[in-house]
Structure 1
Amino acid sequence: MFEVRQIIQRLRMGESIREVARAQHVGRPTVKAIRIVAVEQHWLDPLRPLPDDRVLAGFFNGPRKAPQNISSIEAYRDEILAWHAQGINAVTMRRALHEKHGFQGSVDSLYRFLRREAPDLSVATIKLDFPVGETAQVDFGAGPLIADRVSGECFKTWIFVCTLAWSRHQYAEIVRNQSVETWLACHRHAFEWFNGVPKKVRIDNLKAAITKACYYEPTVQRSYAELAQGYAFLIDPCPVEDPKKKGRVESGVKFVKNNFVPLREFHSLAHANGLLQTWIMGEAGNRIHGTTRARPLSLFTETEQVLLQALPAAPPDCATWSKVTLHPNCHVQFEYCFYSAPFRLIGQILWLEITPHALRIYRDHDLVAMHPRLFRHGDKSTTDDHLPPDAQAYLMRNPQWCIAQARDIGAACLALVESLFAARVLDNLRAVQGLIRLSDQYGRRRLESACARALAFGAPQFKTVKQILKQGIDQAPDLIEAAELEAPYLGTGRFSRKTTDLLH
């Protein structure tokens, strides 16, 4: 309407249609059409005020004329609009139309059609403001694929980004997972990087932080809640499916992914993080930010850093919690490592408190076990007192214990035990343990005598000694002399008899 008003004003000043068209860069038919309406409404009279824009719009903003040429898109109107409603982009639509219908039009024709037929009806938003030092926003984004030159392993990574909402200075770290332990450690590293703690941390509803998302009262993960208490910050989750409430860190993640990651080679996780931190303190921290028109690092060091909360004197343990069940083998499992707990709790629900250096096991609020933290898969930490009595007895009665007991009983018992342990085929630990236990029933003196008789007969076995004791043979006076045992073999079987004896 501003252009229409300018044309009418020039006509009121007496300029010709040609002069007005040349000055306003419009066609003479357009000026002529406006002049006709202006004459009919008496707008060319210099003594009358010009009408406002609403009145002018009623005369010159009528319905558009239909295009004379039919667009090549019209034949696929319904299909394109349906795809647009699903969020499919124009490039993908153009490829699908070409494959299905042989469409030869350009992507630009699709853009023009969508701008005309499906304009973007965006919802109005407001710009959020954050006081100095009050809020940090954190999020994860997909990181680069790293091929470790030492181990040869190729693994996927994630980028943790923490952005201070006022200065836009940020901390970023490349990690291998989004576990609770990693989430807590990244927060601690970020606070140490800033040498201070913001009053609030705005997060998304990821499982490492929020166990149950809710608009009004979300449930915070236990470990994250303890970390927030230790560092004295408030957790500020975004509403469900509304990441725009933390748009500054969303932009920060994109900035790292689009400006740091491309065209760089990373030899290891440590190498990648070293390059990333150098880049943040250099190029990223000293750029002119598009919104603040200032350098994030300068805003942080000159203003925001001194307004952050001080770090605690002793950093809180970044403990994570896990609910487990005690298995019948008296061990719980965490990350493929095994830790023992008292056997009386088998089948019960226990809580694990995991720190970087220790693992504690709780039954309700009672601490029932504590172990050093294990990391290699399959490793086991066992406290003997956690095992049932029979298992403890078995573990305590090792070969060294058995030899010591046999030595106390006597020389014959020691010789028989050493003979059993010298076997090259069978592990005779249980047999030796059973042999030693015979002293509880028959006494050490009789056991020593039975062992001597078994050795004399060349049968150093547990069952032989047990039968000797059971039948009382160890107490018989007619002990066979060793010389008789060394007599040469006469060629007769054990149960053979002479023919004369059988026929007598």
Structure 2
Amino acid sequence: MGGREMTKRWEMYSRIHAMKSQGFKQRKVAKILGVHRNTVKKYWDMSPDEFQETILEPAKKSSLEQHKELILSWLRTYREITAAQIHDWLKEKYKLELAENSVRRYVRMLRMEYDIKPEGSSRDYEALQDPPMGHQMQVDIGVIAVENIRTRRYQKLYCIGFVLSHSRYKYGVWFPNPPEAQDMVNAIRCCFEWMGGKPKELVFDQDRLIAVNENYGDIIYTKEFETFRQSEKLDVYLCRKGDPPSKGRIEAVVKFFKYNFARYRQYSEHWVWDEEFEQWLHRTGNAKKHSITKKIPAEVFEVERGYLTPVAYEIKNSDDNILLRKVRKDNTVMYEGNRYTVPTGSFGVYDDVQLEIEGSELLIYAGFCDILLARHKISFEKGKLIQNSDHLRNKDIKVTGMKESLKGKFSSPEAAERFLDGVHSRKKRYARDQFLLIEKTLGEYSPEALEAALQYCLSHELYSAVDFKDAVIHFNKNIKKAETPADPVHVQSTGSASIPGVEVAKRDLQDMIQRLKGGDDTWLN
């Protein structure tokens, strides 16, 4: 039952009791409202609390009941899935707006009813006071194995997670490979840009990316992090083995990233994963009320943002409106917590680009401001990807060029064009791979076999490079058989040499002539 239906029922209940208080009888109320008398009778002596308990509460549960089998399948397939993750999936996949507590109670009830027990471990924690706004950020690394739908294998993904200790505002950077020290530094910079500033203190676990040796308190940091720490003038707190509560917030956040966002989510391409993660941060990660503070991190962060120190690594030119930035792997540039695209292929070609603010526009230059790479309208939101459609890779152009090149290599270009168009339309995602296989096949077999295979595939509507190659191999074998002559029979001639010990009788010539005429046999004459 939807919210509109529940509202109608409440209006019906209110009107019945309003008319009851005016002295109307049940039969008269039913006639005026146009409902059955049994409906009026059901509501007649019902108190508002009873109406809430018997009518509205079951109606609220019905949305979950409609998805009962789906939720059960999730619980049985993914034994460790949490109620919070189910709540997020229902919002993401089915746009259901449900109270998280209702989902949690429903999931708990299903686990008890169907004996679906999650596997888990226990650990003791100690409560700590929240630090002041803008004072502390905690950082940690997590790893989780997810299914890669391209390779059909599980792949490890690494996440560097960040959380502001006061507001619980979160951010994360994912890596397909184990991050190095410089990756950690770059991730911290991305986080500072995302949040629009930096805190006074960073809290880390003991990690090789940060410190080489604790050295009895005189900590020796990695070269990359020490350079960054000095430039940022940050206080750094390294957790020790006896300090588990000090980093409890970030451990909970990394666990939240892994088990609410990442677990059971399929991986295809890294940029897609990053996009989905940003959407999740806006939808759930920072929009969900925190279970301890009872506040929404995104709302508290709007206040805490004012307590952050502006980032100090923006290298400025003589012109105050020009900044230097690194081009990221996904061909974007960070500015004020947003990503702005540059043309595909810029990463690796331009190490640094210059950003120039011109009114409400952001201009991105390569080199010494002589090549304009991109022009964007500045966004005042946070965490957005601002794209220019010209920067998107046009794969169709390359594929079309391959198709035109292949067409000219066939003896029948028109037939080849029909075949290649069919391959392209049916195997669009793999068109490039299909055309590469066709090109390889064209260079390995005879023109006759290729032409026969082409006609065969067209007549049987086999628009596949694999089918084409199989047909070529088949026709090529038949052509070879037809062209191979039969082995000649070699008769050894004895010539004029005589065989020792053997005498050959000489027949009379007249006798041979008579035999040719039929001899004495009348049936031959």
Q: Provide TM-score, normalisation by structure 2.
A: 0.35
Q: TM-score, normalised by structure 1?
A: 0.37
Which one scores higher on RCO, CA 8 angstroms, separation ≥ 6? 2
User: Which has the greater radius of gyration?
Assistant: 1
